[in-house]
Chain A
Amino acid sequence: MRRNAIEWGVLGASIAVILALVVFIAVDGLLNPEEQAELGVSALPARVVGETFVVPIEVKNEGDGPAENVDVEEVLLDGETEVDTGSVTLPFLAAHSEIEAAAVFAEDPRRHRVEARVLGYEIP
């Protein structure tokens, strides 16, 4: 069947983008067979929002695998005593990605030490 230059051009471009996509996914998958999430969380400076206090957190996944239903807890500590706790659940966290979230407190976090930690997550 006779094809014109545009059709050959589109065919060439199609082969290029499909190959690029397939090769990338295959190579990435083969080079990272043990895909596991590596989660870390850090609390950012607190903000006052209306009559509540918000402590933003940055949850990072530095692993090669995703995590699902990530439970993160933030605790306000006065010495070793827990003053208040807040939590947030992230539905998904892709590999090598980060999400900003926040927990809300009634107590002023600026008067206490803030600790944030990942409580658990599902492995998809």
Chain B
Amino acid sequence: MPDAGKTSADSLREFLRGAGGGLLFGTPLLFTMEMWWHGFLMPWWKILLLLAVTAAFVWIYTRVGGFRRGEATIDQAIDVTIGFGIGVVVATAMLFVLGQISPGDPGREIAGKIALETIPVAMGVSVARVQLGARRHRDEHEEPGPLGQALVAAGGAMLFAFNVAPTEEPMLLGIENEWWRILLLLVLMVPVAAILVFFADFQGGHGTRRAAGEGRSPLSTPLGESVVSVVAALTVSAALLWFFGRIGIDTGVKDAVHQVVTLGFVATLGSSAARLLV
């Protein structure tokens, strides 16, 4: 955030933009009943772990993505903290307005709901503050290496798949669908990722020169990058499904794989979109 000499008005605008972004990204999940239920159904340690993992992803996304590369680590940490602080306030206010928390409710239920809803809101706050402002802080000439790209892709997958992971649909689709549909979904992921990043000519896309893979490592070719995006998406999907209690060590391998692939398709869109943004 703040450049040296930033005025109070600038800071206020930035925080308001963050709160607005938080609402923009968080509202779908603020209106999702499974998120309210997971607020008291999810074990306490999973909620805290998910908060920590998300904070790490937000930090990685802004740092590795190049948006805050010039800033000291402490400043980046301060920005992530403020993003989550705004997230807590926005999530609390919205849950109260929507009647999902009230003063007489059990403390654990209130805290669990706020903590879970803070996650998408805080991700939205961070994206809004670094990418939706009038000026983007990113050094346009720097591009993350293969590991950085994978981490950024995972961050995007997290941001996007989080909107669907708490709901029952990935579980139902994964369990009910035939194996060949799941396989089709899996096979579609790589071309979808490649089209989004390289061939659809979105702003921020890598264009046909990159598509040709000139002078690049195998991981920077369309196929390589797309595979990285898909692997990141599948990994994030598996983690999110575990967090929300959909898969575990007692889940059958087939059911688990089907669910991971189903949510993985959603996550792939996110991981690809993240690659567009960085």
Contacts and interface: CB of A to CB of B under 8 A. Distances in A.
Listed residue (B5, B45, B84, B112) with the most chain A CB atoms within 10 angstroms of its CB: B112
Interface in A1-58: 1-7, 10-11, 13-15, 17-18, 21-22, 24-26, 28-29
A90 to B, nearest CB: 12
B84 A6 contact: no
A68 interface: yes
B4 A28 contact: no
Contacts of B41: 66, 68, 92, 124
Contacts of A4: 2, 6-8, 11
A96 B106 contact: yes
**Top 8 A-B residue pairs of the complex, sorted by shortest distance between their CB atoms:** A14-B85, A29-B44, A96-B106, A94-B40, A17-B88, A94-B109, A124-B41, A2-B4
B40 A66 contact: yes
Main secondary structure of the interface of B (DSSP, over half): helix
Interface string A77-97: 000000000000001101111
Interface in B94-108: 105-108
B71 interface: yes
A37 B37 CA distance: 15
A10 B48 CA distance: 22
B1 interface: yes
A1 B106 contact: no
B107 A24 contact: yes
How large, as a class, is the contact surface on chain A? Answer: 20 to 34
Contacts of A5: 8
A22 B12 CA distance: 26
A119 B85 CA distance: 43
Contacts of A124: 41, 245
B204 interface: no
B115 A25 contact: yes
Contact of A26 (B48, B105, B245): B48
B6 A95 contact: no
Contacts of B249: none
A66 B269 CA distance: 35
A10 B2 CA distance: 13
A95 B40 contact: yes
A26 B84 contact: no
A4 B8 CA distance: 7
B1 A7 contact: yes
Interface string B39-50: 011011101100
Contacts of B37: 91-92
Contact of B114 (A3, A21, A95): A21
Contacts of B85: 10-11, 13-15, 17-18
B152 to A, nearest CB: 23
Interface stretch (B75-83, B223-231, B252-260): B75-83
A117 B47 CA distance: 33
A11 B81 contact: yes
A21 B108 contact: no
A95 B109 contact: yes
A1 B72 contact: yes
Contacts of A26: 44, 48
17 contacts: A4-B6, A4-B8, A6-B8, A10-B11, A10-B82, A10-B86, A11-B81, A15-B85, A21-B111, A21-B118, A25-B108, A26-B44, A92-B40, A94-B106, A95-B109, A96-B109, A124-B245
B89 interface: yes
A92 to B, nearest CB: 5
